[in-house]
Amino acid sequence: MVNLLNLNQPQLADYFNSIGEKPFRAKQLMRWMHHFGVLDLDQMTDIAKVLREKLRQETEFKLPDVQLEQVSDDGTRKWLIGTNNLKDGTANSVETVFIPEDDRGTLCISSQVGCALECTFCSTGRQGFNRNLSVSEIIGQLWVANHSLRQAEGYNMLPASDRIISNVVMMGMGEPLANYDNVVTAMQIMLDDSAYGLSRRRVTLSTSGMVPAMDRLKEDCPVALAVSLHAPNDALRDEIVPINKKYPIKDLMAACERYLVKAPRDFVTFEYVMLDGVNDSIEHARQLLDVVRDVPCKFNLIPFNPFPNSGYGTSKPMQVRAFRDMLMQAGYVVTVRKTRGEDIDAACGQLAGKVLDKTRRTQRTIAIQPGE
Ligand code: SAH
Ligand code: SF4
């Protein structure tokens, strides 16, 4: 069975071609599945009955399972998306978060079950890695959120253009560029006018700095870029964002400059998690200004969101203000991210889901730090 939710429009056109149908069927089907959110062939009345019958036999619309939906006091919503229930009944799951604001609604999407990159302050990273999400599991998060928000707002078949979700950020669990092909295909569906029709400026991919994949992305699917910098020198970044040992800050900055040539926005957003006493001094801010010198950018300071046994503390508000002011005085736009959905553990870096760790990281960590 072909899962039609795994395909972007050109792939769908190829499929129709392969069964002797006209490629324009791809556009019709994209509109039903993604624009209107309809997955029932009987409702797709502009598709001939014979073809619908053929599709019923050869294809399916397989969405990821929603195990739980939670709503926070501040309106933030979180879905626990189950991926595969294994024989022993244990689930492997990821999380999707919707953050409503006055002028927009942002959906934060996951790309992997766990993450292999081991950033020390990240709860997903601590859990280890299980597997990549498929295209339908990635775009399915947008489908499911759209569907559930429409129902909550009392609309049924509202087209995706009257959107509640205006922005997507690839900032949930996982490193999106480590699941390159599936993430790019899913983002192409987000941008497709027959599907969700989001503008490139309203889709943001966040990466910890996988330089070669950043170079590919600017050619294949240039969307807004956020880079998780978190440290202003290689010694510290090697420690807290270990991928830095492979792609050090200088190479990362050069990749950002190259990206901007093709990017839909004229700046990169540098994310910087504020860790008490680790990376939050005025001297760190000074070094930071020096390393980003050649890259047009904005800063997003993220107060560290604690999780059990993290070993880190949240920077004091005074320290965050001093750090922010230092960057602002140098002429940069700086936002300090407000924590949303704390009561349902939906804040940045708290997304945990359930990861059946294939890397055995948890066991390794316990073996190394028996006292913790
Ligand atoms: N893997 C990608 C995207 C997912 S993480 C990346 O690293 O960019 C999204 C953002 O949340 C990243 O900037 C990440 O560093 C940050 N983050 C991770 N753990 C956090 C925590 N405990 N508190 C605050 N932010 C955190
Ligand atoms: Fe992975 Fe991003 Fe977490 Fe690092 S911060 S471990 S790259 S999800």
Q: What is the mean predicted confidence (pLDDT) over 40-51?
A: 94
One-letter-per-residue 3-state SS of 136-158 = HHHHHHHHHHHHHHHHHCCCCCC
Confirm or reject: Cβ of 208 under 6 Å from ligand 2: yes
Q: What is the mean predicted confidence (pLDDT) over 291-308?
A: 95
> Taking 60 as the threshold, does the pLDDT of residue 7 lie above it?
yes
For tokens 């689930």, name the residue.
91
pTM > 0.75? yes
Tell me the sheet residues that pair with 132.
112
Question: For residue 116, what pLDDT is reported?
Answer: 95
Confirm or reject: Cβ of 110 under 6 Å from ligand 2: no
- d(Cα 42, Cα 56) in Å, to the nearest integer? 10
Known binding positions for S-adenosyl-L-methionine: 174-175, 206, 228-230, 305
Ligand 1 lining (C-beta closer than 6 Å): 119, 121-123, 171, 175, 206-208, 228, 271, 273, 302, 304-305, 348-349
Known binding positions for [4Fe-4S] cluster: 115, 119, 122
Confirm or reject: Cβ of 271 under 6 Å from ligand 2: no
Decide if 348 is catalytic: yes
Catalytic residue among 221, 256, 297, 348: 348
Q: What is the mean pLDDT of the chain?
A: 90
Decide if 95 is catalytic: yes
> Taking 80 as the threshold, does the pLDDT of residue 232 lie above it?
yes
Question: For residue 328, what pLDDT is reported?
Answer: 98
- d(Cα 196, Cα 142) in Å, to the nearest integer? 9
Question: For residue 371, what pLDDT is reported?
Answer: 38
Question: For residue 370, what pLDDT is reported?
Answer: 41
How crowded is residue 346: how many other Cβ atoms within 10 Å of its Cβ? 26
